[in-house]
Structure 1
Amino acid sequence: MNLPNKLTVLRILLIPLVLIFLIPIQPGKLLLPVSIESGRVAAAVVFVLASLTDMLDGAIARKRNCVTTLGKFLDPIADKLLVVSSLIALVQTGDVSAWAVTVIIAREFIVTGIRILAANDGVVIAASLPAKIKTFTQMAAIVVIMLDNFPFSLFTKLPIGQILLWIAVILTAYSGYDYLRANIDRIRG
């Protein structure tokens, strides 16, 4: 397994750590002996590290000319797992609307279905530019929400994390439509 694929696997392996820091096992108590606020900061730090592996794996793969079919397939799956599991945790903590997360998850199922159909035809669908922007916006929203709007809370009362999340929901719907439009013939069979 090459370095970019190892970074993708690392991203997947960091997900449980994000969740351990973020989700209270019982009201007011985290699994690890840290305060709720410290747990959220730790979750955000691990989430950012995991997100950075997303940028690194692709850049390294292209620079070293070691792009693989496994990487093209596994990278978007790792992104989905990181984002969706974190969003579900934020629904559980009461920070995020289940409605927004449902839209995001529905899009991910649809696009994954399209990718499976394409794989049956021997085609690997790489992430599109709108999908990459969507993923970045989702990840930015998650970090800001985990940090209770910091650093924006220093100078505004606007819920920047929530605003970013709703922008991400719109981008999610658009990029899902983009994949549907580009693959309509494949879907029709």
Structure 2
Amino acid sequence: MNLANKLTLLRIFLIPVFMVFLLNRVNIPYGAGIAAGIFILAAITDALDGYIARKKNQITTFGKFMDPLADKLLISSALISLVQMGKISAIVVIIIIAREFTISILRAVAASEGVVIAASWWGKMKTVTQIVAIIALLINNYPFSYINFPFDVYMTWVAVFFTVISGIDYIRINKHILKSE
């Protein structure tokens, strides 16, 4: 169990902790702020585990499976919780989660044929904008509240844009995998 894999497992462990603070924010002093901090920490582990695995040449089969799963669990848990709290539309969350399922299945089919679908620039932008949108929704526009700028709404739609474009891009580039013989 290398450091990159431990960071991935930490991210998974942080998900229920994040949700306890987020969904019980009324009963826990500063619960929403603590939840935002936990989410940020988990997002940082996402960036670190991949960097460490590549830099130290510690890429493992476990990491290849668990890292994307941990990412999807973290983002999906946050988004579904935000729907429950009334901070984001279920339609937006369905679009994001549908894209994740679609591309995960595409990657699985490709892997079964010995093809690896690497993360694209669009996919990386999708991840970054989703994380920024979730953080903005969690902190409830705090840095922007004095100017009445709905940064969380803006970033949510930016994240949806990159989610849809990256999904289309992955399918366009890898459509040969979907062709039947």
1:153 Cα offset (Å): 1.8
Once the two structures are superposed, residues 110-135 of structure 1 have per-residue CA deviations (whole angstroms, 9 ceiling, x without a partner) of 00110110121133323222111111
Once the two structures are superposed, residues 76-133 of structure 1 have per-residue CA deviations (whole angstroms, 9 ceiling, x without a partner) of 2211110111000000001111111010011011001101101211333232221111
Identify the residue that residue 10 of structure 1 maps to in structure 2. 10
- Equivalences for residues 102-117 of structure 1 within 5 A: 102-117=94-109
1:98–1:43 CA distance, 2 compared to 1 (3 A): same
Identify the residue that residue 23 of structure 2 maps to in structure 1. 23
Q: 1:143 aligns with which of 135, 158, 164?
A: 135
Q: 2:80 aligns with which of 88, 105, 114?
A: 88
Distance 2:151 2:42 in 1: 22
1:4 Cα offset (Å): 0.7
Greater CA deviation, 5-14 or 60-69?
A: 60-69
Distance 1:69 1:124 in 2: 13
1:132 maps to amino acid: K
Residues 69 and 124, structure 1, Cα contact 8 Å, conserved in 2: no
1:72–1:128 CA distance, 2 compared to 1 (3 A): farther
Q: Does 1:62 align with 2:60?
A: no
Instruction: Determine helix, strand or coil for the equivalent of 1:151.
Output: helix
1:173 maps to amino acid: V
TM-score (norm 1): 0.90
Distance 1:118 1:73 in 2: 14
Identify the residue that residue 93 of structure 2 maps to in structure 1. 101
Distance 1:95 1:7 in 2: 29
1:41 Cα offset (Å): 0.5
1:123 maps to amino acid: V
Residues 14 and 50, structure 1, Cα contact 8 Å, conserved in 2: yes
Distance 2:56 2:35 in 1: 31
Distance 2:55 2:162 in 1: 28
Identify the residue that residue 121 of structure 2 maps to in structure 1. 129
TM-score (norm 2): 0.93
- Equivalences for residues 158-177 of structure 1 within 5 A: 158-177=149-168
Once the two structures are superposed, residues 138-187 of structure 1 have per-residue CA deviations (whole angstroms, 9 ceiling, x without a partner) of 01111111111121224x21110111011000100000011111111111
Aligned length: 180
Distance 1:39 1:126 in 2: 37
Instruction: Determine helix, strand or coil for the equivalent of 1:43.
Output: helix
Residues 84 and 105, structure 1, Cα contact 8 Å, conserved in 2: yes
Structure 2: tracts of 5 or more residues without a match: none
Distance 1:152 1:180 in 2: 37
Distance 2:62 2:168 in 1: 25
Percent identity, aligned pairs only, is 51
1:121 maps to amino acid: E
Distance 1:73 1:125 in 2: 13
1:158–1:148 CA distance, 2 compared to 1 (3 A): same
